[in-house]
Structure 1
Amino acid sequence: MIARSPVSLPVHVVVAPDKFKGSLTAVQVAERVAAGLRTGFAAALPGVGAHALRVTTVPVADGGEGTVDAAVAAGWRAVTTTAAGPTGAPVAATWAREPGGEAALVELAQASGLDRLPGGAREPMAATSRGTGELVRAALDDGAREVVLAVGGSACTDGGAGLLTALGARLLDADGHDVPDGGGALARLHRVDLAGLDPRVREVRWTLAADVDNPLLGDRGAAAVFGPQKGADPGQVAALDAALARFADALAAAGAPDAREEPGAGAAGGTGLVALGLLGARRRPGVEVVLDLVRWPERAAGADLVVTGEGSFDEQSLGGKTPVGVARAAAALGAPVIVLSGRRTLPEERWRAAGFADARALTDVEADAARCIAGAGPLLEGLARVLGTELAAAVA
């Protein structure tokens, strides 16, 4: 239950959720929660409730899939283009342009993500980040002077080699031939030629939106930690780690800053290596970057309550995922934060210690997980309707 509050009418609620992966986009989650809040609040305060509740929807993301959608929902311009997917087959990918500003947002998952693999078949040795580089080039062609690279959800472990070649660099073997795409092929790399690198990449400001702080190599590196998620077996993990080391050596020999030990160099299959080194990017937590993109301080001003959420509220959530990022931002407003999720595995003492006033899940009202996924929209709206009723009782 929501504690009785000294807040007077009208009440301002900010709804700032991430997606429920496999069920609802962040925009759809926000719409369902807003609709339920309004219905429950109005029913509890007939004749008054419809005008006494202000709901501001601010869909967000943690820097992975859905980051472009969150920016577009906040007014950024969506630009869809054809780019190479993780296996090289063309895909329609969207990046975003800041309205009236200099920034472009490139979400790696749009072109190089796991969800872009044909048939979902993992390609740990051959998957490439080339398409992400093509999106960056499109943003530069559009006049961007700042590039935000959001790197969650990658399918590749190529150290950002594909991204680099799409921007004009060449990766050559001992015979002077171009090395094929993919992390596995980097085992044949002899030399990196930066002579043809697009000069604009050194003129723009770069931000790497990445939550992970893994270095490039070793037990905490890109291949060891994230390779198995992308389909790599133990032998392939070892081969990819060695290939990434070879790539890092070649980049350093070509005069690029050596970032292999930098926190975040292992992000997105090692794409952080190129971003933090050659491109000189500044790494920031993904959700913080997204909150800036969606103008959080302006849109959340005066909030009496913040509702956030994601598909699974679990231990990983506390490592910098959307709910925790939103809770930290809401703390500056003095507003309590409630999490609505598909499922919740965190014990109450854990989520309360993280700063949440309440946490509710679809599985609280529907124990069958498959039904929760299939009926996530109506179930979520019903959960929010109860919350709206309680909110009305607390402020009346």
Structure 2
Amino acid sequence: MLTRVLVAPGGFKESLSAESAADAIAAGVRRVLPGAEIDLAPLVDGGEGTAAALAAATGGRIVTVPATGPVGETVAAHFALLGGGDTAVVEMAAVAGLALVPHGLRDPGATTTYGVGELIRAALDRGVRRILVGCGDSGTSDGGAGALQALGARLLDEDGRELARGGRELTRLHRVDPTGLDPRLRGTELLVACNPFNVLCGERGVARVFGPQKGATPAQVEELSAALEHWASVLTRDAAVPGTDLRSAPGTGASGGLGAGLAALGARLLPRFDVLLGHLDLDARLARADLVVTAEGALDHQTPHGKVPAEVARRAKLHGRPVLALAGTLGEGAHQVPGVDACHGILPAPMDLAEALLRARELLTDATERALRMIVLGTRLPVAAAAAQAEVSGTQRPSTVR
């Protein structure tokens, strides 16, 4: 019987944080296995909840500051100071995430990462020596241009005038003037935790892959793709670190191209799980588990490309642990995610998106219960079959069918 269950989900976009998802799954596990030892390990991928999770894991704290949101209005944003005080975590979703973009204003050609630069400046004001920028859940596609503007770079058109904010404006870019960049950046280690599968330009460029999710029409996708190509060219010429490929290096497309913008400042783009999960001691916790339950909003052909369930499953298999994955939607490729032994959708019946988002916690708990009951039944079947066979063998010889 299962006695130790590790619950290691990501978040469900616009409905459940990773912490809330973990609590919902645990409630479902307790309905079936009330005596189980449940280890909650909500996982961060650089998106929503990253700063709070790392602050909690290291004995740090959250610092709340006003900053410019993705549509230009001031929002109550935050960053984390990790235990020890020399490292800050800037979660881009806290100031430029998709959840901060009203549905009626979802135009990734207009939204900005300006607030990300403001949070980096606020962290520099605290005297930190290292800044970790978490990329994920973004509502922007400006190549990090807004962040660079907030940090002092000037983006100029042919007439020497400053560009307005937003990715669409990059088509008019003529020159980047980096001379006004905050000098404190030169003495600060800047790390970007990102999905290495995301690149800025090309057929798999960020505008084409993620633009539609952020509200872009097909015409806007092409417009943004061209704008980011131009941005990469001018930024490489005027400001980028020599030898940096801003078009196609791993992670340059993270958070609508924020990875590329920060790479031009000398930031190191690192695989997000290598950076983030060490703080959570995940591998040791996987080794102690009898069953691993992970989850995310969608399980499909994109999951193996840097998503939480795939990373959990990969690490779990290094310890020989079985993995159950739960998801809001099961798309093409859901049953072929390496390392996932079984997957289960959380919707018991067709329902519209608004209702599913509203009931996400309840649906996830109920789905966990359904899946666990099937697992428990499966663990009992061989015992029951053997007992039945022993009983038959002890009373009569089985007949032979000819």
Is the TM-score greater than 0.5? yes
Tell me which of 345, 349, 357 is aligned to 1:367.
349
Q: What is aligned with 2:257?
A: 270
1:30 aligns with 2:22: yes
Partner of 2:41: 58
Q: Which of 245, 252, 263 is matched with 2:236 structurally?
A: 252
Does the C-alpha gap of structure 1 residues 312 and 222 become closer, same or farther in structure 2, counting only changes over 3 Å?
A: closer
Q: CA RMSD in A?
A: 3.0
1:128·1:162 contact (CA, 8 Å) conserved in 2?
yes
Change (3 A) 1:289 1:391: farther
- Compute the displacement of 1:132 (Å): 0.9
Q: 2:51 maps to what in 1? A: 68
Task: Give the aligned partner of residue 282 of structure 1.
Answer: 269
Write the letter of the residue equivalent to 1:277: A
Deviations 1:210-231 (A, max 9, x none): 2253543343333344334434
The higher-RCO structure (CA 8 Å, 6+ apart) is 1
Map 1:227-238 to 2 at 5 A: 227-238=211-222
Question: Where does residue 338 of structure 1 map in the other structure?
Answer: 324
- Cα distance between partner residues in 2 of 1:103 and 1:169: 24
1:299-358 Cα offsets, whole Å, 9 max, x none, are 44522221111122222223221111111122233322111233334678524xx11232
Q: Distance in 2 between matches of 1:225 and 1:317?
A: 14
Amino acid at match of 2:293: V
Q: Distance in 1 between matches of 2:129 and 2:154?
A: 24
Within 1, Cα distance between the matches of 2:159 and 2:351?
55
The answer to whether the 8 A contact 1:362-1:372 is kept is no
Partner SS state of residue 315, structure 1: coil
Larger Rg: 2
Query: Could you tell me how far 1:98 is from its partner in structure 2?
Result: 1.7
2:133 partner amino acid: L
Deviations 1:36-79 (A, max 9, x none): 3234223xxxxxx3xxx321111113333343354355355222
Give the Cα separation in 1 of the matches to 2:202 and 2:32: 53
Q: Secondary structure at the match of 1:319?
A: coil
1:384 maps to 368
8 Å Cα contact 2:14-2:99 kept in structure 1: no
Q: Which residue of 2 aligns with 1:46?
A: none
Matched position secondary structure for 2:123: helix
Question: What stretches of structure 2 of length at least 5 have no aligned partner?
Answer: 384-402
Q: Deviations over 1:139-198 (max 9, x none)?
A: 222233222222223222222111011112222234433222112222333322222211
Q: Residues 343 and 193 (structure 1 numbering): CA distance in 2 closer, same or farther, change over 3 Å?
A: closer
TM-score under structure 2 normalisation?
A: 0.81
Contact (CA 8 Å) 2:141, 2:166: kept in 1 or not?
yes
Q: Does 1:117 align with 2:109?
A: no
Mapping of residues 168-187 of structure 1, within 5 Å:
168-187=152-171
Name the structure 2 match of 1:309.
Answer: 295
Contact 1:68 1:107 in 2 (8 A): yes
Is 1:37–1:387's contact at 8 Å kept on the other side of the alignment? no
TM-score (norm 1): 0.82
Name the residue aligned to 2:394: none
Query: Given residue 32 of structure 1, which amino acid in structure 2 is its aligned partner?
Result: A
Q: Kindly provide the amino acid, as one letter, of the partner of residue 304 in structure 1.
A: D
Match of 2:205 among 208, 221, 227: 221
Q: C-alpha distance in 1, partners of 2:29/2:212?
A: 41
Runs of 5+ consecutive residues of structure 1 not aligned to the other structure:
6-10, 43-48
In the TM superposition, 1:152-171 aligns within 5 A as: 152-171=136-155
Write the distance in 1 (CA, Å) between the matches of 2:333 and 2:230.
44
CA distance in 2, matches of 1:94, 1:256: 28
Distance change (3 Å), C-alpha of 1:372 and 1:180:
closer
Q: Which residue of the partner structure matches residue 243 of structure 1?
A: 227
Q: Number of matched residues?
A: 374
State the distance in 2 between where 1:225 and 1:361 align: 24
Counterpart mapping for 1:83-162 below 5 A: 83-100=67-84, 102-162=86-146
